[in-house]
C-alpha cells in the first residue's frame, strides 16, 4: 500500500486506447462504488498513441454502459511507474512480458528496493476467466468492444473482492 494517499493501480495494454482505458474506468467505477481508497490509471507498453484519446469505438460502447472515457489521454508505461504504483495490471501475456522487461530496466535505474509495484494479469483473481487475456478489440467491431467491457467488469469485481478481503484501500 502507498505510504501517502491511496493505493495506486495502473492498467496496461499495448496502445492505451482500447483495453487499458476501459479497464481503468471500469475498475475505478467499481472501486468507488465500494468506497475503497484506490486510484486507477492506465498506460500502454508502446508509444503508438501517446496523447491520443481512447479509440472512438471504445468510447462509444463504454458510454452505452455509463462509463466515460473521453477525458483520458494515451501515455506510455515508464520506469518511474514501478515506484509510483502499487499494482500494475497487464491486459495480456505479451504486455505482461513487456512490463516485466521494463521492470528490469527500472530495477537497474532505481535499485530493486525502490520499486513497489506488484505485477499481475487483469484477470488474475477472476475465477470465470483466471489469467485469460482481455481480448484486443482493435481490429474488430462492436462485439469485441462489448466483450472487453464484460471481461473488465468481471475482473474488476474480482479485484475489489480481493482488495476487501486483504484490507487494501
Dig out the grid coordinates for 165 from the structure.
Answer: 478481503
Active-site residue identified among 13, 81, 126, 152 = 13
Verify whether residue 13 is a known catalytic residue. yes
Active-site residue flag, 65:
no
Per the residue annotation, which of 55, 86, 92, 136 is the catalytic one?
136
Q: What's phi and psi for 2, nearest 5 deg?
A: -65, 145
8 is catalytic: no
Cβ pair 162, 36 in contact under 8 A: no
Catalytic residue among 19, 28, 57, 75: 19
Which residues belong to the active site? 13, 19, 136
Amino acid at each position: 500500500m502507498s505510504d501517502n494517499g491511496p493505493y495506486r493501480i495502473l492498467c496496461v495494454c499495448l496502445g492505451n486506447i482500447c483495453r487499458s482505458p476501459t479497464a481503468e474506468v471500469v475498475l475505478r467505477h467499481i472501486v468507488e462504488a465500494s468506497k475503497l481508497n484506490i486510484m486507477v490509471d492506465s498506460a500502454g507498453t508502446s508509444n503508438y498513441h501517446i496523447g491520443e484519446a481512447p479509440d472512438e469505438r471504445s468510447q462509444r460502447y463504454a458510454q452505452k454502459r455509463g462509463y466515460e472515457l473521453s477525458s483520458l489521454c494515451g501515455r506510455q508505461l515508464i520506469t518511474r511507474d514501478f515506484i509510483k504504483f502499487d499494482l500494475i495490471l497487464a491486459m495480456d501475456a505479451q504486455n505482461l512480458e513487456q512490463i516485466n522487461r521494463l521492470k528490469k530496466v527500472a530495477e537497474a535505474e532505481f535499485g530493486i528496493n525502490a520499486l513497489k509495484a506488484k505485477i499481475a494479469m487483469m484477470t488474475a483473481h477472476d475465477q470465470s476467466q483466471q489469467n485469460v487475456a482481455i481480448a484486443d478489440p482493435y481490429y474488430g467491431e462492436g462485439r469485441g468492444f462489448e466483450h472487453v467491457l464484460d471481461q473488465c467488469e468481471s475482473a474488476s469485481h474480482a479485484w475489489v473482492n480481493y482488495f476487501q478481503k486483504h484490507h487494501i484501500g
